[in-house]
Structures are given as C-alpha cells and as structure tokens.
Structure 1
Amino acid sequence: MEYVPRIADGQLLDRLAALGAVVIEGPKACGKTATARRRAASEVLLDVDVEAMRAVAVDPRLVLDGPSPRLIDEWQRGPRVWDAVRRAVDDRSVPGQFILTGSATPNDDAARHSGAGRISVMRMRPMTLFEQGYSTGQMSLAALMSGEAPDATRSELTLRAYTERIVVGGWPQLLGAEPKVAMQFIRDYLETIVEHDIDVVSGARRDPRLVRRFLHAYAQLTAHPARLSTIVARAHGGDFESADEDAGGLTRWSAEPYLRALRRMMIVDEIEAWSPSLRSRSRLISLPKRLLVDPSLAAGLMDCSPERLLGDLNTLGFLFESLAARDLRIYAEASGGRVFHYRESSGDLEVDLVVEQADGRWAGFEVKLGGDLVDEAAAALLHLADTRVSVAPSALVVITGTEYGYRRTDGVWVLPLGCLGP
C-alpha cells in the first residue's frame, strides 16, 4: 500500500535532528512502523524476529548495530533495549541514531524519564480527516492561533459522510474501506485487545467478559468527564451500589487495572481538565473527559453502523465531538500545543475543548453537529473569555458538521470540521 504522508512525519524529522533517539508511541495499527520506516536506514522488528528477542535477552546491544537511524519496532517487548539505546546515544553523541516504536508504554515510567535529554517521546494517533483527504484544511489551527485565518470556508462533507468517518475511523489500513468492512476490522481489533493484549500489558489474566463490559460502558460515556465509579455503574445498568460491591466481578477497584492497561495501550486517550488563571472564584471539575483514541472504537463497542447513528443523533453528537477531539489534538500537538476541556463544578459553564500553546496563547472550541446550537455555543465561548480567563483568547470557534464556515459579528468562528487542518 502506498504511504500516505502523516503530520507526524515533520515531528519525527525535527526530533531526529535534535536528539539521539526518538520513541514513537501509539495504539496498534495507527501507522507508527510505516512512518518510522520512511526515515530508518535499518530495522529490527521485535514482534516477529524471534532471534532478535533472544539476542535482547542475552545482550540488548546486539540489536543496535546497523546503519542509522536504526528502527527498533515494538521495543517494549524487550524493555532492556531502553537502557542500551540510552547508553549508545551517550557514547555516540550524534543526533538521529535510533527510532523506537511501541504500542504500549512501559510499566515502569521511571525508565522513560532516564532518557531525558537523550530520547524524545512523541505520540501518534490514527489519521485525521485532513490526512485522509476528507478535510480541505482551509482553516489551519496554526492560522487560527495567530489570527490569520480566512474569512470564509466551505466543506462538502455531509452528515452521512461524517457518520461514515466515525465508523471507519482513521486507521491507515481502512483508507477507502466501506463501513461494513471497517466494522469487521474494529470488531477484530477490539477482540484482540480483550482476549490477549490486555493480559500481556497488565501481566495478569483478565476476565474478557468483564473487560468487554467495562469498555462498552466507557464507550457509552464518550466525551463525558465521568468518574470511574460512574463507568462501572453504567456497566451495571446504572446501579451505583453495584459499583462498590462485587456484583458480577466488576467494581471500582477491579476496574482500575483495566483502565491502567488501556491507558498504557493508548486505547483510552483522555483529555485533562484545564486549569487557567481565572478572574472568578469558580471551582473547576478536575476529572478527565473520557475518550477512546479513535471514535470508531466507541462506535464499534456500541455496534453502531452509519444508519444506526443517523437514527440516534444524541449518540452521534458525542461521537462527532470525539472525532473533532482526535483531529484537534493531532493538529495542536504538531505545534507543541495541548488540548484540555473546561467545566465548572456548579455546571454554570463548560467548553468542550481548549487548545493551549506553550507560550500561554489559547483558543476555545465548542463542538456542535448541527447549526441550530451555534448561538448557544458561541455564548458559552464568549462567557469564558469575557468573565473567566484573564488572558485574551487567540480564537473562539464553534466546530460544526455543517457546510459553511464564517466569522460572526461577535468574533466567534463557525467552522466545519471538514475544513480544519494543522
């Protein structure tokens, strides 16, 4: 299959020029290896090379020999590789020596910190609409943040097209695939996680039945800042008492290892709460907004086809927010930014997504599938900027699933997701 350029390509080049090694982390099948291979001069694949794994067990330095940059794929299968790479980077004192890819973060996070100043860690996710060719990219996030955005945009994506993009997802293997084919891919992908991967990553046998229940409940709370107890209660049909008791084997305490393992596999991809410098005394919710790394996983867990989503606009709205969050995160992180959510404990004000740059610039985003809630969304954004945050925003944007993009008289942008780019 022909390689489709990724936003991560530029990030990888920049990091290779700066440090001795780069680690590309991301969920399985998001395209890490293909991206790394574009820049690697040699490679060793630890997930398929039995002899290489034996060599790692004896002396991990044995797999480091080869032209640079040398790709070490699925490095977490041989954790001793990390220290060997770190030492080799010190000894060579030349940037761009190694590219490591991994579909699970190490259990001992302290090991990764030992690579500070030597090894750069970057995150990859499935493909954005822009990378897939479905977004025009007319409205660049970078341009929005710098006040240079165009006055008007137009997207040809229909509501039906957005539902298909949600169901198919951003998996490189599914470029051009029909929803029916994609749904089978997602079922198989999730089955592998439930039956095998979660056991390997957590180092213990997990009950697949309970993992499925947990994931299904998590998917139902997509784009919500829900407590773990709320997720478990949802798995028990909304019974909060069962979240504390061993009803069927799933409790808040037994679910915690599932959540940790899913985070390490980067299947769960939560958005942290924003803590800006506030003008007011408003108390903010600190819970993360619950999201899976791609909306297709949530759709698959709920067995949603495009037709089913079109008949359930409430669920479609939350999955559309998940789609927007995935893309916005990738665009923001490409320029060193981060994405948060804002919600007050009182419920008086919430904003779906906030992009914050390292220099303190920020932009607020509300996500609305249709155009009928644009006025309400714009009011929330203006309220946040005018009464809550002491730093003026670079942009206030309502992301929609509609056709036309424009700037309102109050300064708020209305932007079709199918026009957004990096």
Structure 2
Amino acid sequence: MREAVDYLPRKAAYQVKEALADTRVVIVNGARQTGKSTLAEHCLAGREDVVRRYLDDPLTRTSAHADPSAFLDVPATMLIDEVQRVPELWLAIKNAVDRDPRPGRFLLTGSARLLGLSTLPDSLPGRSETIELSPLSQGEINGAPDGFIDAAFTEGDQLRMSSSTLRRRDYLEMVARGGYPEAVRREAPRRRAQFFKSYLDDIMSRDIHQVAHIQRGSDMRRLIGALAAQTGGMLNYSRLSSDLGVPLGTIRDYIGLLEVIYLIRLIPAWSSNATARALATPKLVFNDSGLAAHLLTGITNDSTTGGLIETFVLGELHRQVGWSRTMVRLYHYRDRDGNEVDAILEDNAGRIVAIEVKAAQTVRANDFRGLRLLKRRLGDRFHAGFVLYCGDQQLPFGDGLSCVPISALWTQGV
C-alpha cells in the first residue's frame, strides 16, 4: 500500500465510499496529480479484502496485457491505478462484473476521461459510477464548508456571512497557487513554478501520447499557451487557427485532447425559450488556475487578470457541483446583443442562480446589467443573482440581487 503524504480530506471521499456500497465498478477520474491514488487508498484504508494493482509498474502492466481475465481473477475488491494504461482490461472488467454482480468489485483510477477514449472497446452502462476528482477546492485546503451552491438555492440572495478579510491580492495569490496538492504544499513561488513546468512536460511526454498520436508537439505547446491567454473567455476555434497558423481541424482535435486529459474545461452555453438570442459558443477555462497563471507569467493586464479570477471562481463552482445536495448544472450565458453572465446554475426544477465575477474591490450598479436582464426575462425562474468580487462586504442591489465577496464560495454552508 502506498502511503499518503499530508493527506487533506477530500469531499469526494464520501461519494466514493457510498458508490462502493452499491455499484460494481467505481471510477475515480481526473487530471494527473489531483490525488486520485491517494483518495482511493484512503477510501479502502483498514480493509483486508483488497488487492491493489498499480499499472505504472512495468511488470504489473505486462501481466495485465498478457492475460486480462487472469489478472482480474480475485475474490476481493481490486484497486487498479491508472487503468487507462491497459485498455484491454475494460472488456475483461465488464465480463467479470456481469458474471459476479456484487457491489464494490473494482475501484479504478485514471488520468483521462475514460469513457471518451477511442481505445476503450465498450462502456459499462448500469455497472459503473464515475467520480471526477478535481484539484483541491479552497474549502478542502482551508477546512471550510464549500457550501455556496446549496446556500444560494436555499437562501437566495440573503446569504448569512460576515465581512471578509481577504482582498484582491489575497485572491490573486490563491489563483496563482491553484489546487494541485503538490503545488499547494510548495510555499515558495519558484518551487511552485518548477512543479508547473514539470507538470506540463509530463502532460506532453506521457498523457497526450497515451490517448492520441500527435504529429507536432510544438503546435500543441503553442496552443496551450494561447488558451491560457484566453482562459475565462469564449472559445473561438477560427481565431486560434488563424493566430497560430494551424489548420482548423487540428485545433479542434487538439482542444478535444486537452479536454480528455483534464487540462481544460469547456463550460456550455445556456439558453431557454425566454433567451432566444443566446449564443451557443462554449466558454474555455483551465482546470487549474495556478497552471494557467504559470503560463501567463510576465503577461499582466486587466484581461488576463480578470480571466484568471473568473477561471478560479468557475473552478470552485465546478467542484461544488460534484458534491452539493442541490443537483445543478453549470453554464454561462451570452447573447447576440453582447449581454453576458459569467456563470449560470440551473437546478432540476429549472430555477436559476446567476453569477457575475469581478476582479475589482468595488462594485458598480452597471455590473448587474446582465443579471437584471435575465431576471426580467426569466421571472419566477430567476432565484438569485450575485456579483462575486474582491471586496469585503455583502450588499443588496435590488430584489434578488446582491454583491458578495468571492470567499462566500467556500465559507458558506447550510
């Protein structure tokens, strides 16, 4: 068993343990270095009925390739780490759980969106549950509730919070730190920068080549840098193709690969019958704000700073979507008239919580323009609207609208 180093409790641990109790195959999926193996070990700690297989070990990997069925033939729960390294195991796992449907047969970890890989021969409908492990949230780092989504849908704009002691520089430090456990542990900026450099080198030399063969690694590196400069903005494939001198089809393929390995995330556009002029273009954000900030070192302007803080906020919201009691989906909104809202949370009843993100320490009435527009168009479906900003106070700005410090994302709890 591999020992955890300075383990920080993860919100996903409860989800994994709950799934193991009633689901045959549980998959912990996510980016490299988010702590998937550590989480899996933590969830199985103290159990004697566990067999562990680590596919980063060459001998273990050779055994799995040689005879997948024999490799899996054990009566206990099996933990398979980095399962995407041996795609042949997938059908063997499917056959094994079809013959023996007991829950908790397999706990798998992987550093790619496994069910989207073309190398996998089949999915596991009805047999598996996938839990995405993102970089650490601020609540996980600081031991805070991380309950903004539940609070917003329960209390509307009447959140109960005291003044925040954080200022813009504090949020920018959080943005630059990001949430990869190893980056969080490294307090010196120079050492953290070395981690991000090594991380990107590993992405290029290992992760990308595990899921696809690319002809020109230099084009991929240039694309990653260009995407960092646009994080928090609308994705424009044609502009990227023109700016980089890379064919449009290649840009689309490469962005798809970067999604598969969890380097970036596309936030889908939101629309309804009441917002017929909405655009369908997704918003692009990096999975970790610290990595994006590293790529933008030396490039500082209002656009990049605003994009990084928005990436940070959307990342915190995305993490909470995974564990909040309120089942919601995360979108963004923009229409043909230039009206936009940075984040839209929609629950199963169709209620909307809309969020605008500002990198400033003050808020103006005009910052609520997009929120007011949606409120007028949606009527009773509009539950609450917030401007999250770098200031210290929660203040009302009309019925159902308020500004709150960004720290409300992790200090709120219901």
Question: What does the per-residue CA deviation read over 1:295-322, in whole Å, with 9 as the maximum and x for residues that have no partner?
Answer: 1121122225xxx75xx33311110000
Which amino acid in structure 2 is aligned with residue 58 of structure 1? A
Of the three residues 63, 70, 80, the one matched with 1:62 is 70
For the pair 1:313 / 2:308, whether they are aligned, the reply is no
| Alpha-carbon distance in structure 1 between the residues aligned to 2:334 and 2:160 | 30
Give the 3 Å change call, closer, same or farther, for CA 108–172 of structure 1 in structure 2: closer
Question: What does the per-residue CA deviation read over 1:69-120, in whole Å, with 9 as the maximum and x for residues that have no partner?
Answer: 4211110111122222222222222222211111023454695863111101
Backbone CA RMSD of aligned residues: 2.4
Who is 2:198 aligned against? 188
> Is the 8 Å Cα contact of residues 76 and 105 (structure 1) preserved in structure 2?
no
TM-score (norm 2): 0.88
Query: Superposition pairs for residues 322-337 of structure 1, below 5 Å?
Result: 322-335=311-324, 336-337=327-328
Unaligned runs of 5+ in 1: 236-246
Question: What does the per-residue CA deviation read over 1:259-296, in whole Å, with 9 as the maximum and x for residues that have no partner?
Answer: 122111111211011133x325x322111101111111
Who is 1:290 aligned against? 284
For the pair 1:410 / 2:399, whether they are aligned, the reply is yes
**Secondary structure in 1 aligned to 2:266?**
coil
| Alpha-carbon distance in structure 2 between the residues aligned to 1:17 and 1:81 | 22
Which amino acid in structure 1 is aligned with residue 293 of structure 2? A
Who is 2:255 aligned against? 259
Query: Superposition pairs for residues 53-202 of structure 1, below 5 Å?
Result: 53-66=61-74, 68-106=76-114, 108=117, 114-133=123-142, 136-137=144-145, 140-147=148-155, 150-178=159-187, 179-202=189-212
Question: What does the per-residue CA deviation read over 1:128-166, in whole Å, with 9 as the maximum and x for residues that have no partner?
Answer: 1111118x5486321211227633333222222211211
**Secondary structure in 2 aligned to 1:35?**
helix
Query: Superposition pairs for residues 251-400 of structure 1, below 5 Å?
Result: 251-276=247-272, 278-280=273-275, 282-304=276-298, 309=300, 312-335=301-324, 336-347=327-338, 349-387=339-377, 389=378, 392-400=381-389
> Is the 8 Å Cα contact of residues 273 and 343 (structure 1) preserved in structure 2?
yes
Give the 3 Å change call, closer, same or farther, for CA 188–399 of structure 1 in structure 2: same
| Alpha-carbon distance in structure 1 between the residues aligned to 2:87 and 2:380 | 44
TM-score (norm 1): 0.87
Question: What does the per-residue CA deviation read over 1:352-393, in whole Å, with 9 as the maximum and x for residues that have no partner?
Answer: 001122332321111112243442232321210222x36522
Q: How many residues align?
A: 398
> Is the 8 Å Cα contact of residues 136 and 180 (structure 2) preserved in structure 1?
yes
Q: Percent identity?
A: 28
Question: What does the per-residue CA deviation read over 1:171-198, in whole Å, with 9 as the maximum and x for residues that have no partner?
Answer: 1112242222211111111122234432
Unaligned runs of 5+ in 2: none
| Alpha-carbon distance in structure 2 between the residues aligned to 1:152 and 1:53 | 51
Query: Superposition pairs for residues 208-247 of structure 1, below 5 Å?
Result: 208-235=217-244, 247=245
| Alpha-carbon distance in structure 2 between the residues aligned to 1:378 and 1:137 | 27
**Secondary structure in 1 aligned to 2:211?**
helix
> Is the 8 Å Cα contact of residues 362 and 395 (structure 1) preserved in structure 2?
yes
> Is the 8 Å Cα contact of residues 78 and 106 (structure 2) preserved in structure 1?
yes
